[in-house]
Amino acid sequence: MGRVRMHADEVETDTDLVRRLLAGQFPHWADLPVRLVDSYGTDHDIYRLGAHLSVRLPRVGWATGQAAKEAEWLPRLAPHLPLALPAPLATGRPAEGYPFAWSVYEWLPGENANGTLEDLDQAAVDLAAFITALRRIDTTGAFPRPPRDRGSALAEFDAGVRRSIGELGERIDGPAALRAWQESQEAPAWDGPEVWVHGDLLPGNLLVVDGRLAAVIDFGGLNVGDPACDLQPAWNVFAGASRQRFREELSVDDASWLRGRGWALLQAVIAMPYYWDTNPGMIRQASRALSEVLRDTAG
């Protein structure tokens, strides 16, 4: 697939830049082979470094806080979770004309969860166990949640969702999307304690090994807030019986289910007009999720 420009203000990277950064800051890794990893991720370029490492370089300024967040929190969260997490090894500083902090991680094997899970019912159990364990981790010392971020109230996103649905025009069933969005907004708000949420449990952030869910990656959306945010896989990954199994494993009440469905819709319609011409993988994923949301709403 190669590298495709997705943001007007993004920074270009390539393998030569990675080699120069490594030579200047981590010379013990500088002789390892480097290659770009094909991905429809949107905020980082990922390079495979040798057999066991990866390098992540933010594309845009708004993604630059992820390395520090993951370096601080993933080692704390990982011992409590039943699936593998990325292991941060080093953080690099801006250099060689590249303006952002960047990071080196252990390489996690696997394929993303788009069509690679052999048993969706088992995957629903495995992912629900991960979410349950994440919710149970003490949030003491957690960073304050920014406005309009993962785990916030859906009402904070109302203007953006309605604007995106309008921009999509006849490419989607706009009236149905607006009805579904309104239903989710009208659901009773979360009145329990805020819990840890991954915030971006899309198929591209779930790694599958030998047909079974093995790891969760990309914790840039990590936050504390409404646990319904992490119900998105119900419409992004599962369908039918496996969706119901996912709900049962998490004991989701009706209000939380509606808010979770709102999060799946929100993620899809915000992404679609922005990435329509540049990221076909993201558009396929978002279109599938929106279709499942609207089918679920109509049913």
Sorted by where each starts, the structural domains of the chain and their CATH numbers stand as 15-108 (3.30.200.20), 112-298 (3.90.1200.10)
pLDDT in tens, 16-37: 999 999 999 999 999 999 999 9
- Helices 174-186 and 254-275, axial angle in degrees (round to 10): 140
pLDDT class of 63 with cuts at 50, 70, 90 = confident
Look at residue 38 and tell me whether its pLDDT is greater than 90. no
Round to whole Å and give the CA distance between 183 and 177: 10
Encoded tokens for 100: 């952002």
What is the model's pLDDT at position 40?
Answer: 67
- Neighbour order of strands in the sheet with 111-112: 111-112, 206-209, 212-216
pLDDT given for residue 88 in this prediction: 95
Output the pTM of the full model. Answer: 0.94
- Identify the pLDDT of residue 252: 98
Share of residues in the chain with pLDDT > 70 (%):
98
Neighbours of 273 (CB within 10 A): 18
Q: Tell me what pLDDT residue 146 has.
A: 81
User: Which pLDDT score is estimated for 1?
Assistant: 47
Q: pLDDT per residue over 263-298, tens digit each?
A: 999 999 999 999 999 888 899 999 999 999 999 987
Q: How far is CA 177 from CA 157, 162, 184, 240, in A?
A: 14, 9, 11, 20
Q: What average pLDDT is seen over the chain?
A: 94
Q: What is the average per-residue pLDDT within 87-91?
A: 95
Phi, psi (deg, nearest 5) at residue 216: -125, 130
For residue 213, pLDDT over 60 is answered with yes
pLDDT of residue 8: 74
Mean pLDDT of 156-184: 97
Number of neighbouring beta carbons within 10 Å of residue 297: 17
